[in-house]
Amino acid sequence: MHDFIGYILSLFQRGLHLAVPVLLLCGAIVAVCWFLFRRQNRPFPWGRVLVLLLLIGWLVLTVFLTLLRGEPGHRQWNLHLFLAWREAWNQFTLQVWLNVLLNIALFLPLGFLLPLLTRWFRSWPRMLLAGLGVSLLIELGQFATARGMLDVDDLFTNTLGAMVGWSISMLILTLTKRSPGWKRRCGALLPIPAALLFALALIFGGYALKPYGNLPDAPVITANLDGIQWELAFTPEDAPATAPIYRAGRLDRSASEAFAAAFAQKLRITFEDTYYYDDIIIFANHTSGDFLNLYQRDGTWEYRIDREKRPVFDVPASQVSPDALLSILDVWGISVPEGAAFALEPSGEAYVQASFTSRLIPADGPSVYGTLTCLLQEQDGASTLTSIENQLVSLTPCEERPILTPAQAVEQLYGGRSFAGTVLEHSGLTQIQVLSCTLEWIADTKGFYQPVYCFLLQAPEGEPFTDYVAALN
C-alpha cells in the first residue's frame, strides 16, 4: 500500500475515535427523545434522525482532520486559485492528486445529507452558500489557530464537493419520487458531477497521451521580480537551437524491489522495512542504520551507510583520491563511467563532498549522465564514507526538439518563469548577477530527461546559487 494512503486511513481512524463518543452521546439523546415521542403516541422521525447523526459524525471527523490533528505552526495562506491543481499537474503523483481529490470528497457528505435533512437545502443557491460558508469557517479557523493554510483552492474544492454531493442526493430524491417533470430535473442535476468527471478525464487522459512527462519543479505561477536589478556577465546567444530528449526509463515496483535486493546482496546487508511513496521507495534497516532511497522516476538512489560498515580512509577528506573511492565503489558493484570529472568540495564544518560527474551526452547513442556524490566525514585526520548519492543515469536519445535560445531563457528568468521564481520574489534580493547559462537535462514524471537552462546566479552577498528555466518551446 502507498504509505500516504496508509497515513490518510490512520487519520480517519483517529478521527473516528473522536466521532464515536460524540455519536454515542447523541444516540443517548435520541433514545430519550424516542421515549418521549412514544409516550405521546407520536411517530418518531427515524430517517431524519439518522441523517442528522451522520451529519454530526461528518462534522466531528472534518473538524478533527482540518483543525485538531496537528500542532500549531506558522500562519500561511494561498490566494492563487487552482495553484494546487497546477502543482498536481506538474508533479503528477498519487499524493498530490489525492490532496486535491480528497478535498472534494471531504465535503460530498455535507452536500448529500443536508437535502435529506431538510427541504430548505434542496435549493442549489442555498446549498452553494452552505458549502462555501462551512468551508470558509474551517479555512478561517485554520488561519486563526495556525493549524493549516487559508487556501482559496480548498474553498473551491470543498464547495465543489458539496455541490456534487447535493447533485447526487437530489438525483436520488428525484428518481425516487418521479413526480411530473422528473426527467427534466434529472437532466438539470447532471452538469455539476458530469463537468467534474469530464475535467478529470481531460486531465488524466491528456497526461496519458503526452509523449513526455512534466517537470515537477517547473513554475506554476509567474513570480513578480520587478524589484530585482539583473546584471548579465555574458552575452547570450539568440540563434535558433535544438536539443535531444532522452529516455531513462521508470522502474516499476517489482523492478525497484529487485534492484534493492541485488544492492543488499552486494553490500551484504538486509532491509527489514519498506516504505512506498509517490516516486520513491525507502528500504530501511533501523537496527543497523542502512537506508536506501530509490527514485523510481529514473532509477537514481541515495544510500546511507551503517556506522559499522562505513569505509575509513587514513587521510583527511580533502586528500581522499578518486582511485581510493573508485576501489570501494567497485567492490560494491557501483560503476562510474571513464572520464567522469572528479571534484572535492566542503560541505559544512566536518564534511566534504567527493563527486564524479559525467556531462557528455552524445546524441547518437546511449550514454551516462549525472553525478555520483560521496559524503566524507572528517575526524582526527581521517575520513569516513557516510553516504552515497548516485544520480548517474544511462540515457538513450529519443527525439530532437526545438528549444528556447539562451537569450529567450534569460527573458524567462527575468520575467519570473524560472523554477525558483517565487523563492526569488520573496527573498528580499534587489540585485542579482547572472554568471553563466548552460544546457542541462532533468528527469520528468515519465522517466524522460528534458533539456533545461541552468543559470548560475550571484547575489551581492553569499555563495553563488542555481536556477533553471525549461528549454522546450
Q: Domain holding 434: CATH number?
A: 2.40.128.690
Domain annotation covers residue 465: yes
Structure confidence at residue 181 (pLDDT): 81
Q: How many domains does the chain have?
A: 3
Confirm if 458 and 464 have CB atoms less than 8 A apart: yes
Q: For residue range 191-200, list pLDDT tens digits in order.
A: 999 999 999 9
Confidence of residue 363 (pLDDT cuts 50, 70, 90): low
* Those residues with Cβ within 8 angstroms of residue 114's Cβ, 6 or more apart along the chain or in another chain: 55, 121, 127, 130, 166, 169
99 and 150 assigned to the same domain: yes
Asked whether residue 238 falls in the same domain as residue 269, the answer is no
Any domain includes 89: yes
Residue 362, pLDDT > 70, answer: no
Residues 159 and 295 in one domain: no
Residue 214 located in a structural domain: no
The tens digit of pLDDT for each residue in 199-209 reads: 999 999 999 99
**Grid coordinates standing for 101?**
481529490
In-domain check, residue 145: yes
Helix, strand, coil shares of the chain as percentages rounded to 5? 45, 25, 30
Distances from the Cα of 64 to the Cα of 12, 59, 238, 383, 442, angstroms: 9, 9, 56, 49, 40
The tens digit of pLDDT for each residue in 82-134 reads 999 999 999 999 889 999 999 999 999 999 999 999 999 999 999 999 999 99
In angstroms, rounded to a whole number, what is the distance separating the alpha carbons of residues 256 and 254? Answer: 5
Both 122 and 188 in one domain: the answer is yes
77: helix, strand or coil: strand
Residues 381 and 455 in one domain: no
* Residue numbers of the domain that contains 366: 253-396
Which range is most confident: 334-338, 361-365, 423-427? Answer: 423-427
Domain annotation covers residue 381: yes
Mean pLDDT score of the chain: 91
37 & 164 share domain:
yes
Residues 11, 105 within the same domain: yes
Whether residue 414 sits in one domain with residue 320: no
Is 219 domain-assigned?
A: no
Phi (first) and psi of residue 279, to 5 degrees: -115, 15
Same domain (yes/no): 36, 178:
yes
- The answer on 450 and 424 residing in a single domain is yes
CB count, 10 Å around CB of 60?
20
Question: Is there a domain that residue 433 lies in?
Answer: yes
Cβ distance 131 to 111 under 8 Å?
yes
User: Same domain, yes or no, for 240 and 96?
Assistant: no
The values of phi and psi at residue 146, to 5°, are 60, 30
Write down the pTM of the prediction: 0.88
At residue 249, the 3 state secondary structure works out as: coil
Q: Are residues 11 and 145 in the same domain?
A: yes
Task: Provide DSSP, 169-188.
Answer: HHHHHHHHH--TTHHHHHHH
The predicted model gives 58-65 an average pLDDT of 91
In a domain, 183, yes or no: yes
Where do we find the cell 435533512? 117
Cβ within 8 Å of residue 263, ≥6 positions away: 292, 301, 303, 333
pLDDT for residue 7 is more than 90: no
